[in-house]
Structure 1
Amino acid sequence: MRLVLRVGGLLIAICLVVACADATGVPGASGADVIFSDGFVPGQMGNWVIEGDNAGQTAVINEQLVFELADNNIMQFSTLPDVTFDNFILEVDAQLLEGDLGSSYGVLFRMQDSTRFYRFEITGDGLFMVERRDGESGWTRFVDRWTETPAIQQGLGSTNQLRVEALGTNISLYVNDELVHQFNDATYSSGTIALDAGTFVQPQAKVAFDNVVVRRP
């Protein structure tokens, strides 16, 4: 599916990749509080549906979910459409492997559909953004602009753990165990989740995700 959105003043095309949610393979991801986990291990991972085109591809490579983007101003995301989460704690490891350091990657959560969701995004040069997409009504930002934080490990190949804690209307966002933003919003109380990667002015980026864990609070 290809949609056209405008994020932060930039025209963005989105390729939707869907996934199923029965998965294992994350070291230490056990216990009654674990709702979902995936280490992208062949034979143990969920039934992810991988799609793409000349602008962007998603594949499982070396036990990671890898996004390879070949155009500028696009965002591609992979979602879990069959599982709805209300209150949850999500953790995922992510790396920008190739491309401009301004390329972004992150988590979409409490998704109602492909155009209505919250978005927590970081870049390879140490910036983050938190915003809400409301379909044709556009975007609402919870920070004024892309904001710098020392919590992000910058540069190609650096691993950053992203964490989303969604408890009722209170949402807390962490990078490498450091709280970078917290806000209250009642627009979306539950929904699906997704992982995403994007390019801005410069084309071409490669982003890898691993060790996805979703827990009950």
Structure 2
Amino acid sequence: MKFVLTCLMTLPMTAGLAHAAGDSEWQSLFDGKTLNGWRIANGAAKYEVIDGAIVGTTTAGSPNSFLATDRTFSDFVLEFEAKQTVGPTNSGVQFRSQSKPEIMQGRVHGPQMDLDPSERQWTGGLYDEAMSGWWYPGTLNPQPGLYKFNEWNQIRIEALGPSMRTWVNGQLSAYVLDATYTDGFIALQVHSIDQPDEAGRQIHWRNLRIREHPSASPGEATIFVRNTLPNDLSEVERKQGWQLLWDGTSTTGWRSAKGEPFPTHGWRIKDGELIITGGRGGDVVTEKTFGAFELQLDFKLTPGANSGIKYYVGDYGTGDALGLEYQLLDDERHPDAKQGTDGDRTLASLYDIQPRGRLMSNVGIAPKVGEWQHARIVAGADGTIEHWLNGVKVLAFKRGSEDFQRRVAASKFKDIANFGQLEQGRILLQDHGDEVRFRSIKIRAL
């Protein structure tokens, strides 16, 4: 049996959802025969019912297409099966999403779980469609081979308050805390295509069911949790060992890098942000020292700004607070980006020692001055260090290795004995005379 729906057709609203047989808690979103209860929102891709599944087909010249539920949902668990055939093509499922004439002329926007059979394999990742971009790219929890092309895959999406989690074939794939969207429709995406020969690729969905207002799941996970709530420490993060390194309201735990109390000028705290004002108050450091650790924070650069996050900070006998530095820089406007060697003074590089790798251009991942970005430093007990920017690892090295020592010997730190090899050190935020904002500064011991 086949039932076809295109963007030129409209269907009457369907009141309510049928309860799934044998399970009164679950409701079916799809009767297996028709597209009753669904409507086209954007695009010209074809949606039809074939053999008990909703099938979407890529169409040349069409923007992203969406088949959306007539109803909206807030807190829920959604389960379904998905399969992609004919040729690999990106797809996804929207939830808590919107389409309003006054916003981008009705373009669908909001949270999306990615379905991605391409080489990067980001299925399960969470994306803010048409808005802020990637919250949780597949790089944060790689699961190669988990999602099977041309096979049915079990998918689960859970949205409870600000918590959004996804599962692919029984494996937890993404975990995001974000309060931007509280309710909206669910929609099946057929992605736009780049080449005419990509037309005709298909995405299949079946056994779509939803349970509204479920009991909260245990706040536990071993995977990285991306929490966009400012200065928030969730239950799951606490269980993972995370602590707020800055409380969001005071200078507790921080002091001047010169050994004095926190600077009385050049820094201010406002609306949950720790702000370098450009008044040259000097660097600040943590009162505590750290060995093996994982650090994350949000930062916002102003045009042309220069700053840095230093770690394993000590005086090294020079009287200065020196350490390894995760560079914070507006690469386009600040001249430091073109100095050093091979770009080793650019954003997220190990300052003057090792350049970061090539940055991705994805929305929400590519650096954008004037918007909040996410920095992460993982410093292992074995000396391995990773720099992450907006959910992607951009640099890795090992302290004390032959390569590290060679790079230090060619840097401005060449005359400092054992530079960067302290077992313990402080965390430092650098005041370079430019306005830079910080929030959600968190750390955990490894």
TM > 0.5 fold call:
yes
Query: In structure 2, do the counterparts of structure 1 residues 51 and 108 end up closer, same or farther at CA, with 3 Å as the change threshold?
Result: closer
What SS does the aligned partner of 2:29 have? Answer: strand
Structure 1 CA distance, aligned partners of 2:116 and 2:32? Answer: 23
Show the 5 A alignment for 1:119-134: 119-125=112-118, 126-128=121-123, 129-133=125-129
Show the 5 A alignment for 1:148-159: 148-150=142-144, 152-155=146-149, 157-159=150-152
Aligned-partner residue type, residue 205 of structure 2:
F
More strand by share: 1
Residue in structure 2 matched with residue 208 of structure 1 by the alignment: 204
Aligned-partner residue type, residue 67 of structure 2:
S
Query: In structure 2, do the counterparts of structure 1 residues 212 and 72 end up closer, same or farther at CA, with 3 Å as the change threshold?
Result: same
Aligned-partner residue type, residue 104 of structure 1:
N
Instruction: Give the drift of 1:22.
Output: 4.5
* Structure whose alpha-carbon radius of gyration is higher: 2
Say whether 1:108 aligns with 2:94: yes
Contact 1:88 / 1:167 at 8 angstroms: preserved in 2? yes
Q: Gaps spanning 5+ residues in structure 2: where?
A: 1-6, 100-106, 215-446
Structure 2 CA distance, aligned partners of 1:47 and 1:84? Answer: 11
Q: Deviations over 1:171-196 (max 9, x none)?
A: 11111111011010001111111111
Residue in structure 2 matched with residue 68 of structure 1 by the alignment: 57
Aligned-partner residue type, residue 127 of structure 1:
W
Provide the alpha-carbon RMSD of the alignment.
3.1
The one of 50, 70, 86 aligned to 1:98:
86
Instruction: Give the drift of 1:39.
Output: 4.4
Residue in structure 2 matched with residue 38 of structure 1 by the alignment: 30
Structure 2 CA distance, aligned partners of 1:65 and 1:76? Answer: 14
Structure 1 CA distance, aligned partners of 2:122 and 2:82? Answer: 15
Say whether 1:88 aligns with 2:76: yes
Instruction: Give the drift of 1:16.
Output: 9.6
Aligned-partner residue type, residue 89 of structure 1:
V
Instruction: Give the drift of 1:146.
Output: 6.7
- Relative contact order, higher structure (CA 8 A, sep 6+): 1
Instruction: State percent identity of aligned pairs.
Output: 24
Of 28-37 and 161-170, deviating more is: 28-37
Contact 1:106 / 1:121 at 8 angstroms: preserved in 2? yes
Q: How many residues align?
A: 191
Query: In structure 2, do the counterparts of structure 1 residues 88 and 16 end up closer, same or farther at CA, with 3 Å as the change threshold?
Result: farther
What SS does the aligned partner of 2:64 have? Answer: strand
Structure 2 CA distance, aligned partners of 1:76 and 1:17? Answer: 14
More helix by share: 2
Structure 2 CA distance, aligned partners of 1:86 and 1:141? Answer: 21
Contact 1:17 / 1:51 at 8 angstroms: preserved in 2? no
Query: In structure 2, do the counterparts of structure 1 residues 117 and 16 end up closer, same or farther at CA, with 3 Å as the change threshold?
Result: farther
What SS does the aligned partner of 1:38 have? Answer: coil
Query: In structure 2, do the counterparts of structure 1 residues 118 and 21 end up closer, same or farther at CA, with 3 Å as the change threshold?
Result: farther
Q: Gaps spanning 5+ residues in structure 1: where?
A: 1-14
Query: In structure 2, do the counterparts of structure 1 residues 116 and 106 end up closer, same or farther at CA, with 3 Å as the change threshold?
Result: closer
Contact 1:41 / 1:63 at 8 angstroms: preserved in 2? yes
Query: In structure 2, do the counterparts of structure 1 residues 152 and 71 end up closer, same or farther at CA, with 3 Å as the change threshold?
Result: farther
Instruction: Give the drift of 1:105.
Output: 2.1
The one of 146, 163, 186 aligned to 1:193:
186
Query: In structure 2, do the counterparts of structure 1 residues 160 and 199 end up closer, same or farther at CA, with 3 Å as the change threshold?
Result: farther
Instruction: Give the drift of 1:71.
Output: 2.1
Show the 5 A alignment for 1:8-23: 20=14, 22=16
Structure 2 CA distance, aligned partners of 1:104 and 1:115? Answer: 16
